[in-house]
Amino acid sequence: MGNKAKLRAVVEGNAFSALIQFLILASAVAFALESGAPGPELHPHWHYFLILDWVFFVLFAAEYILRLYIAPKKRAFIFSFYGIIDLLAILPSLFLVPGFRVLRTLRFLRVFRIFKATRFILAVDRLTEALSEIKRELLALVILSLMLVYLAACGIYYFEREAQPEAFGSIPDSMWWAVVTLTTIGYGDVYPSTAGGKFFTALVALVGVGLIAIPSGLLASVLTEARVERRKVEEGETERED
């Protein structure tokens, strides 16, 4: 086994995976804490964040180079989903050098480092397979939802525009109410005040509750089918062995 093969075994091993996952988590926590800090001029320990940024930059860059090195086809890796994600995870830190101003705006992109973690979650491929099988239906659902948001906004605008011109003064404004109502979040910052608007809301809410039921029903059906099929295949193999 050559050096490259040994290295590949290490990189694809559990210990390396755990290390990278820990780095992602640490980077996410650092990023979150940095967001609340009062800024480089006022913060007494700001340089700690800077040092951490450098550490994450170096480590993620090393990982990227390593993965590129062990990849059988370099170009394929670079343009693969995870090749791009891994590159995006180091690019924003490249700007650590020039100065604080530029850093501040680009720094924000480091949040996408968290997508590196999906590499380990997507191992649960039963779920992603099921989701990909109902892609078309889910897309139709998203379009239907947008249509419903639009129609709900038009309706409530008709009923409430005169009673509450600040919240329902136009259809785009009313869309905020439509989203908050159809998803049953209901912050309470905007709600109908007229009898007509309340009646219309009841109707919209009924439809909304029904709409929310659809994705779970869809998912249940593909997952059940997949399970029954897998079980059948397993039983078939057992019978052949008999």
Q: Give yes or no for residue 223 binding a copy of itself (CB under 8 A).
A: yes
Q: Give yes or no for residue 171 binding a copy of itself (CB under 8 A).
A: yes
Q: Give yes or no for residue 18 binding a copy of itself (CB under 8 A).
A: no
Cα distances (Å, whole numbers) of residue 122 to 49, 60, 107, 115, 183? 31, 20, 27, 11, 27
CA distance 183 to 215: 13
CA distance 65 to 27: 19
Q: Quote the tokens at residue 186.
A: 């209901």
Q: Three-state SS for 48?
A: helix
Q: Which of 77/92 has CB closer to a copy of itself? A: 92
List of residues 6+ apart from 201 with CB closer than 8 A: 156, 181, 191, 192
136-139, long-range: CB < 8 A, 24+ apart: 137/218, 138/215, 138/218
Query: Which listed residue (19, 47, 126, 132) binds a copy of itself by CB under 8 A?
Result: 126
Name the one range near a copy of itself by CB under 8 A: 45-53, 81-89, 90-98, 137-145: 137-145
Q: Give yes or no for residue 202 binding a copy of itself (CB under 8 A).
A: yes
Query: Which listed residue (41, 166, 189, 242) binds a copy of itself by CB under 8 A?
Result: 189
Q: Which of 75/125 has CB closer to a copy of itself? A: 125
Q: Give yes or no for residue 124 binding a copy of itself (CB under 8 A).
A: yes
Taking the complex as a whole, the smallest distance from the CB of residue 112 to a copy of itself amounts, in Å, to 9
Q: Give yes or no for residue 132 binding a copy of itself (CB under 8 A).
A: no
Query: Which listed residue (96, 111, 119, 194) binds a copy of itself by CB under 8 A?
Result: 111
Name the one range near a copy of itself by CB under 8 A: 2-10, 41-49, 78-86, 124-132: 124-132
Pattern 29-68, a copy of itself, x by CB under 8 A: --xxx-xxx-------------------------------
Number of DSSP helices (H) and strands (E) in the chain, helices first: 11, 0
Q: Is the four-CA dihedral 146, 149, 151, 154 of positive or negative sign?
A: negative
Q: Give yes or no for residue 84 binding a copy of itself (CB under 8 A).
A: no
Query: Which listed residue (2, 216, 238, 241) binds a copy of itself by CB under 8 A?
Result: 216
Cα distances (Å, whole numbers) of residue 216 to 122, 179, 204, 220, 221? 20, 19, 20, 6, 9
Largest CA distance in the chain: 78
Q: Which of 66/137 has CB closer to a copy of itself? A: 137
Pattern 140-169, a copy of itself, x by CB under 8 A: x-xxxx-x-xxx-xx--xx----------x
